[in-house]
Structure formats: structure tokens, C-alpha cells
Structure 1
Amino acid sequence: MEVRKLKALGQFLRSRRERIQPAMVGISGKYGRRRTPGLRREEVAELAEVSTTWYTWLEQGREVRVSRDVIERIGRALLLSPEEHLHLQRLADYDRMTDPSASPINGIDTGLRQIVEQISYPAIIATFRTDVLVWNRMASIFLTDFDSLPKEACNMTRLVFTDSSLRQNITNWDEFARYGLAIFRSHYDQHPDDPVLEAFVKRLLADSESFAKLWKLHDVQDKKAIRFELNHPGAGPLTFTLNSFSHINGNSDIHLCVYTPVEGTLTEQRMLEFAGQSML
């Protein structure tokens, strides 16, 4: 297993262990006074029915053989959510994500670009690194002016954490940023041999205090429909549901994101009116 992936596995286990209070798993005072938050390593080992030494080596990122059964027992001991449990299995190489190098992007098909341009709502196509490759006019109007950005700046993770105007406009920024970063973290941990991702994270850790703070949590998440609330300076309050569609035309590296107005709000009316005015 790759060195960075072993390290990611250890860091993830420690982060989940430290968030669990002893009372949550029926432990009380067995190992004396506590100096650090969460469970002790020996407590996790006991709950998972593995040796303390072996579990300690696993947390330290040492190269040890891990069976699927043991991984599942550790996941249960740490009270992992289904998504966190899947992430742990992937880190242990029992449920690999598709290797992005197997489906490199050699440009986006013209037909895909036309589809995105014809969508009436803000829509983008992005990579698993969150690089935005294609966007429509509505995305440039209501998200950010992609047309004016250099190619290297068209990255949703970087924009969410470093674009002060966008951050100010997103009224549920904390929820949205945590969700997006948790998805990004899942991909990062599963691709330890990706130097582009490694360099990107190092830069963002230096550029964004908020990113650095959330990065330490090791939260992971699979894609789902999520609410996106925007206070647009021209159109006013807008509420969308962000839906993602993966494996576009068999390419596992790209996904389509569509920001659909929530029914029962004035979002679609305000959006279309403002977009119409901007064409005048």
C-alpha cells in the first residue's frame, strides 16, 4: 500500500477515535483519568477484538496486513457512518475507487458542451479534482464569472474557499463548504499517487485558514443532492438544489452539476428575469 495512503488511513482512524466519548460505547473509567479527547487506542482495540499493538501500528501508518473482517470490526467499534465505513474500506484497498489515470480527459466532447449550454439553470462539468471544464452562461451569471478567470483558477474548491465575493454570496456557506470538502477529501485519500492533488492541497492549506481548519477533521462524504442558497447581488435571494451526475459518457473522472431552483420559491422567476436583463 502507498505510503501516503497508509498515513491517510492512520489519520482517519485517529480522527474518528478522538470524536467518540467513552459513554457512547459503554466504557466508564476502566483505564483511569483521561488526558486526551475520545477513546484510547486500547479501548478501540478491545471493542474491535484486535491487539492494541496491532491497532497502534495501523494508526501510525505502518505497513501491516489488514483483513476485511478486521476493517469491518474497527469500523463498527468507531461507530462509522456508512459513508465513513466505505471510505475506510477504500483506504484499506478493499473497495477501490476508479483510478482516474485509466480515463484521462482529452478534452470535452462538443456534444457535451452543447448539452450544458442548453440547460436553463446554472450547470458545470468538473473533474474529481473539482477543476471546472465546462460551464453555461447561467453558471457565469449566478456562480462566478468563469469566462474572466484563467484556466488554473477555475476550480470549485479553490473558489469556495478563497473567493471572498462568492463566499459572501453563499448564505449556507458553512454547510456547502463542509459538504464539498468532504467529497474532495474522499478522492484525495484514495489517490495518494496524484502529485497534482498533493500540490493543490498544499497551496490551499497555505491560502485558506478555513480550508486548513476543516481539512484537519478528515470528514468524508459521497455525492448527494444538497441545498445551495445564494444571495445574488443583482437577483436577490435564490435557493437551488445541487444535483450531480457522475460517469458521464463512461468517463469516471468527470461529473455534471446542475443547480435547480427549489419549487415554491421565487428563485426561477428572479433568475430568469435577471438573466434576461443582463442580455440587454
Structure 2
Amino acid sequence: MLFEKHLAMILFQLSGTLNWLSSNEMDAGETDSKRRELGLFLKRKRATIEPEGNAARATAGRRRTSGLRREDVASLAGVGLTWYTWLEQGRDIKVSTAFLEQIAKGLKLNNAERAYLFAMAQRRPPPLQEEGRKTPDVTTLQLVLDSIQRPAYARNNCFDVLAWNAANTTYFGDFGRIPAEERNILWLMFTRTKYRTVMPEWESDARKLVANLRLRLAEAKDRSASDALIARLYETSIDFQRIWNEHEVESIGEGVSRLESSKLGSLTFKHFTMMPEGLPGTYVVIFIGEGLGDGTDRLNSNWRA
């Protein structure tokens, strides 16, 4: 009996070990496959780029295949030839974000190709190329917003308002009446006293908004615009100072969640935030809640103060 128990224990432990090894072998196989796929992508991508300048002169008269050599890519990207070669060969190496950014630049990758490079090499999206302070095609954004019946607006990573629809004007006021330099959700939240009057959950909403800003700041490659906004708010609002110094981080937070209107009573909102394809750093925020119509009730007076 003792022998049988001992044998059963050994078999149980062996089974667990085999399962662990099998799981790790599957993970390793998936990783190897991704490295090979990435190597093929890099090889085929450089084959589509004709050499220019020094690279063209260095290979003049002796090229057998089209495109760039590995040496050309390493030179254009400003990275080591050995390290790039190993990446293309699918070797098990760790590469930095700066290294991948240089490769993306050297191979002239578009946004989708750059995202693929980071996903395959680091299993994560790439850093945003810019904070989003540059205004995208507002005409396209406006067409999208005008097709939405519920209140909606478009913003960038700094929470600058880029465009909005008629329903948003109805419920939250006309952004067009606000000077462009103040047309920022955070700035309005902390500097317009009317927001505190009509938002019964102002403290909670403000906290979520600031926590969302901190997350977007970490994602941005160039944080100069956000830093300037934070500095302005820090000088202007004691409440912003207090909340910012608590270092909360949150992915959900777009401002108002409840609105007390003298005309419509209490309204509760949920936010849905989407990033339009091809516009990194641009977000479309839609407010959905009970009692929201198509824009026939006028509440603009609540937000002009």
C-alpha cells in the first residue's frame, strides 16, 4: 500500500512536470514562429526599397537583387549590423523601443507596419508618435460626429477639443463660443465654476479625468504639450494641484457623468471612447444615457458662465 501511494505521488508530480514542459514548449514555439514571421517581414520590406545616396553608390554595378542590403538598413537606421542581422534571422534577442523606432525609420514603415513591428518584437503597441496637438482632418471628424445623434466630441491626448456635434452643443454648450486656447476638457473642468454647479459628482469626475490624463501622458512620445497644460493648471487651480499630486491612474474618465439641469432634471451619462482608424492620438467620445434626445432641448445657457 505504501509503495502504491508513493508511486501515485511520483506519477502525479511527473504529470504536472510534463504539463508544464508542454505548456512552455507551446509558448516557445509560438515565440519562435513570431520571430521567423518578423524576420521575413523585415527581409521583404527592405527588398522593396531602392538604395539612395551612399548605399546606391556602394552597390553600383555589383547588385544581384533589388532593395537594400542588411548593411544599408543598419546604416540608415543607425543601429548595429550584427544586432539587426540577428533580428532578421529570428534570433532570441531583446530589443529596445529606441532600436525598433530606428528600424521603422530606416525601412520607412507606415503606421500599420510600425505597429506590426512592435507587436511582433515586443508584444505591445508602439508609443504614440506625437501627442496629438496637431489638428487632424477636422472635416472628416465632423462628418463622423454629425452622423451620431447622441452628444459626441473628438479630442486629442491633451484633451483639446477638436470637433463636436449639435447634440453635444445642446447638452454641454457650444465649444465654438470658447476661445480656442481654452477649448480643453481639463481646463474647463478646473477653471469654469459653472461645471461644479451642474455636476453633482464633480470631484469624482475630475479625479477620473486627471487620472486618464496621467495615463495618456505615459503613452505619448512627446509630452511637451501636456507638460505645458499641466503647468498652467497647476498654477491656476488648487484642486488640480491636490488631485494631480495623488498620482492616480485610470483609463476611463471623460468629464461629466451626471448633469443637473433646471430644464431636464438629473441626467446620468456613460462614456464610450473610440479611436478612429488612421488617426492615432485622436479620440471620439460619445455620451449615452437615459433621457438623451436628438438635440431638440436647449441647455446651452447652463454652460456659458
Structure 1 residue 112 displacement after superposition: 2.6
Distance of 1:238 and 1:260 partners within structure 2: 10
Aligned with 2:268: secondary structure?
A: strand
- Hey, what's the Cα distance between the residues in 2 that align with 1:259 and 1:208? 26
Structure 1 residues 164-211: Cα deviation after superposition (integer angstroms, max 9, x where no partner): 112211121122111111010112244474222111111101111111
Q: Which residue of 244, 260, 270 maps to 1:241? A: 270
- Give 1:117's aligned amino acid: D
Instruction: Quote the Cα distance in structure 2 between the aligned partners of 1:228 and 1:182.
Output: 15
1:196–1:103 distance in 2 versus 1, CA, 3 Å: closer
Please tell me whether residue 255 in structure 1 is matched to residue 283 in structure 2.
yes
Higher Rg: 2
Q: 1: CA distance between counterparts of 2:170 and 2:159?
A: 19
Matched, 1:170 2:194: no
Greater share of helix:
2
Pair 1:119-2:148 in alignment: yes
CA shift, 1:250, in A, is 2.2
Deviation, structure 1 residue 236: 2.2
Q: Which whole-Å CA distance do the structure 1 matches of 2:264 and 2:179 have between them?
A: 26
- Residue equivalent to 1:88: none
Unaligned runs of 5+ in 2: 1-93, 95-121
1:89-147 CA distances to partner (integer Å, 9 max, x unpaired)? Answer: xxxx9967622428774532523312212321110000010000001122122123211
| Separation in structure 1 between the aligned mates of residue 264 and residue 133 of structure 2, nearest angstrom | 38
Q: 1:127 to 1:186 in 2, by over 3 A?
A: same
- 2:185 alignment partner in structure 1: 156
Alignment of 1:57-136 (within 5 A): 98-101=127-130, 105-136=134-165
1:174 maps to a residue whose letter is E
Aligned residues: 181
Residue 251 of structure 1 aligns to a residue in which SS?
coil
Equivalent position of 1:22 in the other structure:
none
Separation (CA, whole Å) in 2 of partners of 1:184 and 1:193: 14
CA deviations 1:228-269 (Å, max 9, x no partner) are 1101243321111111112x122221000001123xxxx236
Contact 1:188 1:197 in 2 (8 A): yes
Q: What is the match of residue 197 of structure 1?
A: 226
Q: Which amino acid aligns with 1:257?
A: V
Task: Give TM-score scaled by structure 1 length.
Answer: 0.56
The 3 A distance-change label for structure 1 pair 199 and 217 is same
Q: Distance in 1 between matches of 2:131 and 2:212?
A: 20
Report the counterpart of residue 212 of structure 1 in structure 2: 241
In structure 2, give the amino acid aligned to 1:138: A
Q: CA RMSD in A?
A: 3.2
Letter in structure 1 aligned against 2:283: H
Q: SS at 1:101's partner residue?
A: coil
Alignment of 1:42-57 (within 5 A): none
The separation in 2 between residues aligned to 1:165 and 1:133, in whole angstroms, is 22
Gaps of 5+ in 1: 1-66, 68-92
Question: What amino acid sits opposite 2:288 in the alignment?
Answer: T
Counterparts of 1:103 and 1:163 in 2: how far apart (Å)? 24
Partner of 1:181: 210
Partner AA of 1:258 in structure 2: I
| 2:302 matches 1:274 | no
